[in-house]
Amino acid sequence: MKLSILDRSRTRRGAPDSAALTGTIERAVHAEHLGFHRFWVAEHHAVPGIASGSPPVLLAALGARTARIRLGSGGVMLPNHQPLVVAEQFLMLEAMYPGRIDLGVGRSLGFTKPVREALRRDRNAPDTFAGDLDEVRSYLEGKGAVTARPHVTSPPPMFVLATRRGLDFAAKAGLPVVVGGPILGAPGARVPELDRYRDSFIPSAGNPSPYVIVSLEVMIAEDEDRARELLLPEAWALAQSSRTGEFPPLESVADIRGRAWTPRLREQVDASIASSIHGTVEQVRVAVEALAARTGADELLASTSTFDRAALFESDRQLSLLDV
């Protein structure tokens, strides 16, 4: 199983947003040194807890600081962009960093109603994702109504960040998928949606067979309690967002412990941590092998965040050493 990282440029309480972007660049350099297969960044608009609103701009900076690791988007949200512009941005990246660029696309809208309005998106607008996917692909391959520039020898590969319906789009288009969250189901259970994706996959140019990337948080520490503690800042932020509608910056474990906890908050935090893979190196190895067995995943994309950057870098280091 290939091992990769998704970094969402998480902001931290008391630090400027620019520190989150600098941290992403430093982590990409570290990930390349450790031998990870790819390093992806994300697109989130007007979210206090995330500094990355433009994957292509950030990827250009990452490419300048790295030499070998694949770089990509996890992902570009097609409802927010014109397909031609997306194709042009990623063709430019491919021209600058040949053979290293991935285009991951998703179909999520803005986080809140004001953000959707700022993006000129209507939640009730027709779903054009399948058509947009085909259009972006046609421009990348030089087969569109107009010729997107610059011309490159090999276009960057496309990946679909897939929900259940997205898996059907990807299978029909013959594209690799990235899955995570509720779709993975309970530990130990097969994922029927992935079986359906593989069964209905139509081979395409560059993708002769289905390819599945599983994305979830992976935290390695000296013991399970410490790993759970390191996952607390992200779990707390997620629980807060469901209560306030705003996804906040990461806070230190000490600050979170000093906050007022309701039973509902504790339940949400516990559920979030339980959905991750965490513990000692050996515990994580066993859990990753079990995940691979039940999903048939070709690759693991660790989307881990925590307040303590040094602990995060050490967890990445330990993860890179896993033989799975």
63, amino acid identity: G
One-letter amino acid identity for 80? N
State residue 183's pLDDT score: 86
Residue 91 near residue 152 (C-beta atoms within 8 A) = yes
What confidence tens digit (pLDDT) does each residue in 174-219 have?
A: 999 999 988 888 777 888 999 999 999 999 988 999 999 999 999 9
Name the residue ranges covered by the structural domains of the chain. 2-222+279-320
pLDDT digits (tens, 9 = 90+) for 20-74: 999 999 999 999 999 999 999 999 988 999 999 999 999 999 999 999 999 999 9
Instruction: Return the beta strands (E) in 44-133 as ranges.
Output: 70-73, 76-77, 101-106
CB environment 187-213: b (16+ within 10 A), e (fewer): eeeebebbeebbeebeeeeebeebbbb
C-beta separation of 49 from 251 below 8 A: no
Strand partners, 179: 214
pLDDT at 285 over 90: yes
Candidates 1.10.4000.10, 3.40.50.2000, 3.20.20.30, 3.40.50.150; CATH matching 2-222+279-320: 3.20.20.30
Predicted confidence band of residue 124 (pLDDT cuts 50, 70, 90): confident
Residue pair 169/115 in contact (Cβ under 8 Å)? The answer is no
With tokens 């190196």, the residue in question is 281
Is the separation of the CB atoms in 234 and 217 below 8 Å? yes
* pLDDT band at residue 167 under the 50/70/90 scheme: very high
Task: Output the six-digit token pair for 12.
Answer: 């931290």
Counting other chains too, the contacts that 114-120 makes at CB distance below 8 Å and 24 or more residues apart are 114/46, 115/45, 115/46, 118/45, 118/46, 119/45, 119/80
CA–CA distance, 224 with 80 (Å, rounded to integer): 40
Reading the block at residue 288, the tokens are 């990753």
